[in-house]
Structure 1
Amino acid sequence: MINQFLKDKPSKLFLGFAAFFVANALIAECIGGKIFSLEKVFGLHPANFTIFGQSGLSFNLTCGVLLWPLEFVITDIVNEFFGPKAVRRISYTTIILIAYAYLMFFLAIKTPPADFWLGSYVSYGIPNMQNAFNGIFGQGMWIILGSLVAFGFSQLVDVYVFHKIKKRTGNKMIWLRSTGSTLVSQLVDSYIVLIIAFKLGNNWSWGEVLAIGMMNYIYKFIVAIILTPVIVYVEKWIEHYVGHNVAHKMKLQAMGEEQDTFENIPTAG
């Protein structure tokens, strides 16, 4: 049975997308503690926008936003070929594994450090490795909660909007349903994490939440547009990989919520 699964191209595709989806999300969470200046990446001065009464706003973003757009690309591809049940399955799996990772981070932080290790990187400008380790992996509980809730809810929104558009467009214009669903879900994601992590967790004003959320969304909006050709390319590649007939049957089946993800898809080894 396992040999048949590993030879079946649709099955291999789903396994590959699911593995990348989980790994990408975990990496994004791990590197999300670093804040970078988008303007400096391009050698520009800070933007200094004023939005919702908040002045001096620039594109200071977490490194996690470099990877999160890829999650929505994969979400839409899986949605297109495997359906919402498959998206929910990998989304829930990812949330569980991220929560597991944070638990392991917490236990690692609480583990007593070896004396020699504490000062092992003094020559690199790090006087205390335990403090450095805590700073990297010890994100606050409000941020963790906000991140997980925002991710889970935005995934559900993405699936819903994607299929609403697909019911009107059929198998045409994947760029429209992919980009449209991403733009809506990214807006939801941007504000849920801020409301939970910083409004509830750090007593930010609504002006701060709205302004920072808008700065984050402007970046995500632009990236979603830039990545639109990637969606089209991956769709064409999958159709070439599994064959046009198999790809067509996968898309038809993906529209049926109650059908099993791989049921009636012929083997294309």
Structure 2
Amino acid sequence: MTSKETTAFSRTGLVAGMSAMGVVVLVSNIAVNFPINDWLTWGALIYPIAFLVTDLMNRIFGPAFARKVVYAGFALGVGLSLWFADQRIALASGTAFLTAQLLDIWVFDRLRRQSWWKAPLASSLLSSALDTALFFSLAFYATGLPWVTWAIGDYGAKLAMAAVLLVPFRAFIALLPQRFARDGAMADSSQ
């Protein structure tokens, strides 16, 4: 791939990552208002895709690039959520999202050179725990809603989704040229 193609690939990746992140945050913030049962909301099934986006950006482009996607996704997602979702949920989501996604990037980067599945799984499990604790306590404390059971159900769903999302993570990485699929090679080649 030429330098021009690499720059175009990076630009496309950045726009795709930022857009995906903003949409995932917005849809999750709306879906969290719709319980499936006393233990789970629809947001629990959608939000883990944000960790997939972050992990793909981190694997392909490196941690600095992934942080750009998170910051832009944060701004876009919170901005849209303030418009389309409850303000308390939007602010709780933004706080939890930014903190958890930055933890995800840090953990992923520390494990990136181990087996392909360890970095996305471990980073998602740890950051999902932080995200769940922050979001549900900030969004629903003192509302009278069953937020503790929702948080437990949400984290259980995030654990299951972290395992399930390993399949598309591996499939997407397998589609990339080998030099871009390993250890954030795009970040190394563009700096």
TM-score range, shorter chain: 0.7 to 0.9
More strand by share: 1
State the match for 1:24 in structure 2: 24
When normalised by structure 1's length, the TM-score is 0.61
State the match for 1:122 in structure 2: none
Q: Percent identity?
A: 21
Distance apart, 1:155 and its partner CA:
0.3
Contact (CA 8 Å) 2:74, 2:98: kept in 1 or not? yes
Distance apart, 1:90 and its partner CA:
1.6
Decide which of 146, 151, 157 is 2:92's aligned counterpart: 146
State the match for 2:60 in structure 1: 81
Decide which of 121, 124, 143 is 1:202's aligned counterpart: 143
The verdict on how the C-alpha distance between 1:12 and 1:187 changes in structure 2, with shifts beyond 3 A counting, is: same
Decide which of 228, 231, 243 is 2:166's aligned counterpart: 228
Look at both structures and tell me which one has the larger radius of gyration over its CA atoms: 1
What is the CA–CA distance in structure 2 between the aligned matches of 1:246 and 1:79, rounded to whole Å? Answer: 11
The verdict on how the C-alpha distance between 1:218 and 1:31 changes in structure 2, with shifts beyond 3 A counting, is: closer
Does residue 11 of structure 1 match 2:11?
yes
What is the CA–CA distance in structure 1 between the aligned matches of 2:123 and 2:36, rounded to whole Å? Answer: 27
State the match for 1:67 in structure 2: 46
Distance apart, 1:27 and its partner CA:
2.2
State the match for 1:52 in structure 2: none
The verdict on how the C-alpha distance between 1:211 and 1:23 changes in structure 2, with shifts beyond 3 A counting, is: closer
Q: Deviations over 1:81-118 (max 9, x none)?
A: 1122222212121222233224444xxxxxxxxxxxxx
**Counterpart secondary structure, 2:33:** coil
Q: How many residues of Structure 1 are paired with residues of Structure 2 in the alignment?
A: 188
When normalised by structure 2's length, the TM-score is 0.82
The verdict on how the C-alpha distance between 1:6 and 1:245 changes in structure 2, with shifts beyond 3 A counting, is: closer
The verdict on how the C-alpha distance between 1:244 and 1:69 changes in structure 2, with shifts beyond 3 A counting, is: same
Q: Deviations over 1:121-178 (max 9, x none)?
A: xxxxxxxxxxxxxxxx4x2x33222111011111011011111222xxx2x4221110
Distance apart, 1:203 and its partner CA:
7.6
The verdict on how the C-alpha distance between 1:8 and 1:30 changes in structure 2, with shifts beyond 3 A counting, is: same
Distance apart, 1:246 and its partner CA:
4.7
One-letter amino acid of the structure 1 residue matched with residue 178 of structure 2 = H
Contact (CA 8 Å) 1:175, 1:229: kept in 2 or not? no
1:104-123 to structure 2, matched below 5 A, reads: 104-105=83-84
Does residue 160 of structure 1 match 2:101?
no
Gaps of 5+ in 1: 38-57, 106-136, 257-261, 265-269
What is the CA–CA distance in structure 1 between the aligned matches of 2:81 and 2:166, rounded to whole Å? Answer: 32
One-letter amino acid of the structure 1 residue matched with residue 99 of structure 2 = F
Distance apart, 1:198 and its partner CA:
2.5
**Counterpart secondary structure, 1:220:** helix
